[in-house]
Amino acid sequence: MSVFASLVARLADLLEPFFHASAAAAAIVLFTACVRLAIHPLSRATARGQKACTKLAPQIAELRKKHGKNPERLQKAILELHAKEKVSPLSGCLPSLFQLPAFFLMYHLFSNQQIGGEPNELLTHTLFASPLGDRWTDALADGGVVGAQGLLYVALFAVVAAVATFTYRRTKQQMAASPGMPVAGPDGAQLPGAGAMGAMGAMTKVMPLMSFATLITVAVVPLAAALYVVTSTTWSAVERAWLYRDIPAGGGAVATAR
């Protein structure tokens, strides 16, 4: 992790002539974007798996009509269909799981007080006079909501709320447009469609709301980690909108794989 901390520090040095005291904050945003760009192929693989599963929607709909009263038989028939069409039910999930180490590493890089046994120098810098190591509670204690630090968090919350609302509405619309079929969830992995049953159906109702949990994350982590979270979340929303643009966000048609 110390290697990545050094990379961010060097990036901050390069950005210092442009952003001055806020160069470290700019470096966090740019470094996050670069990492997200590097793992973009995994996001594309997730999208391909999602679309391959979506292409089977008409056949799965027929199976639901035929075996709807026999969940075990229905599950077996769906698995047989996936095997016949050579589409793995996990093809839209595994690439997302492979991205997790990168997200875990960046979160700890921007939230830990120490890196490699040494103080995390990134957290000693500021953004508009707000220390990157401080949290929202510190901002409230120093000027309140309308103080300089408080207004910075208001801006971050506004961005997160806008992105979460966009993600929530798009996910719900896709689930309604393709009932029973998996759709891209807030983290890019597959969620069961609106027609899912039992525990999976309950998860379907809850998971789109997880986008708004980012508001809590931004409120409790250091400002450096909050910048990472906001940047990564915004990237995810834009990336999913692009990769899944041919999956309907409304209406009853079912998209086919590219």
pLDDT given for residue 211 in this prediction: 78
Q: State both tokens at 170.
A: 């798009």
Distance of CA 241 to the CA centre of its chain: 12
Q: State both tokens at 76.
A: 């077996």
Q: State both tokens at 86.
A: 């050579």
pLDDT given for residue 29 in this prediction: 97
Q: What is the pLDDT along the chain (258 residues), one digit of tens a residue?
A: 578 889 999 999 999 999 999 999 999 999 999 999 999 998 888 888 777 777 777 888 888 888 878 888 888 888 888 788 777 766 667 667 878 888 899 999 999 988 878 889 999 999 988 999 999 999 999 888 888 889 999 999 999 999 999 988 887 777 666 555 455 555 554 555 444 444 444 555 666 677 788 999 999 999 999 999 999 999 999 998 898 887 655 433 333 333
CA trace torsion 133, 139, 140, 145 (10° rounding): -140
pLDDT given for residue 185 in this prediction: 53
Sign of the CA dihedral 100, 106, 107, 108? Answer: positive
Considering only CA atoms, give the Rg of the chain.
21
What does pTM read for this prediction?
0.79
β partners of residue 130? 127
